[in-house]
């Protein structure tokens, strides 16, 4: 499969979720001007009966390329944030929401400069592809029961990703 790596932006990631870029936000001074706050960075969505969110810390290992892309996953009942601690670039392989991913709609993004993403519910994506050993803040649905769907590629759909 031929693919193109896109530099991520608010406009080209919109169909998949939120591009989290604090440098595009105007901060508000709070706490007697001792803190700059960047409010409302992502639209966190929690669906279903239990609407509690959870804040997680992932310790991602540096990926060794090429990686065989052989599946995509989605979370039908919540959005999912990936925000690196520090300037740790990562890749996103994603498809818009649908019953199964249509690989003709697959897009690949490189996220850099300490920016992050928030996938909308039901957006297909490959698990985190960190370029370095790095820690990531994630936010998703606390009750994760039934909040993971996996689509395993048939042999003809698999491809190697070289980063």
The model's pLDDT over 93-149, given as tens digits with 9 standing for 90+, comes to 999 999 999 999 999 999 999 999 999 999 999 999 999 999 999 999 999 889 999
pTM: 0.94
Name the H helices within the chain: 10-13
Confidence of residue 24 (pLDDT cuts 50, 70, 90): confident
Those residues with Cβ within 8 angstroms of residue 105's Cβ, 6 or more apart along the chain or in another chain:
95, 96
Across the range 45-72, mean pLDDT stands at: 96
Q: What's the pLDDT score for residue 22? A: 86
Q: How far apart are CA 45 and CA 122, in angstroms?
A: 11
Q: What's the pLDDT score for residue 162? A: 95
Residue 54 has pLDDT above 90, yes or no: yes
Q: Which domains does the chain have, with CATH numbers?
A: 5-26+41-161 (2.60.120.480)
* Residue entry with tokens 């892309």: 69
40 three-state secondary structure: coil
Residue 2 has pLDDT above 90, yes or no: no
The model's pLDDT over 61-102, given as tens digits with 9 standing for 90+, comes to 999 999 999 999 999 999 999 999 999 999 999 999 999 999
Q: What's the pLDDT score for residue 23? A: 85
């Amino acid at each position: 499969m031929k693919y193109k790596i896109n530099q991520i932006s608010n406009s080209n990631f919109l169909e998949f979720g939120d591009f989290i870029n604090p440098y595009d936000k105007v901060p508000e001074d709070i706490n007697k001007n001792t803190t700059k706050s960047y409010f409302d960075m992502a639209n966190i969505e929690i669906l279903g009966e239990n609407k509690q969110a959870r804040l997680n810390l992932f310790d991602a290992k540096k990926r060794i390329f090429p990686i065989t892309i052989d599946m995509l996953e989605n979370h039908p009942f919540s959005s999912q944030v990936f925000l690196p601690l520090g300037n740790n670039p990562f890749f996103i392989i994603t498809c818009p929401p649908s019953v199964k991913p249509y690989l003709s709609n697959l897009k690949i993004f490189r996220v850099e400069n300490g920016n992050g993403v928030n996938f909308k519910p039901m957006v297909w994506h490959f698990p985190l592809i960190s370029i370095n050993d790095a820690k990531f803040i994630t936010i998703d649905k606390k009750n994760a029961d039934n909040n993971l769907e996996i689509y395993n590629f048939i042999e003809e759909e698999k491809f190697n990703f070289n980063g």
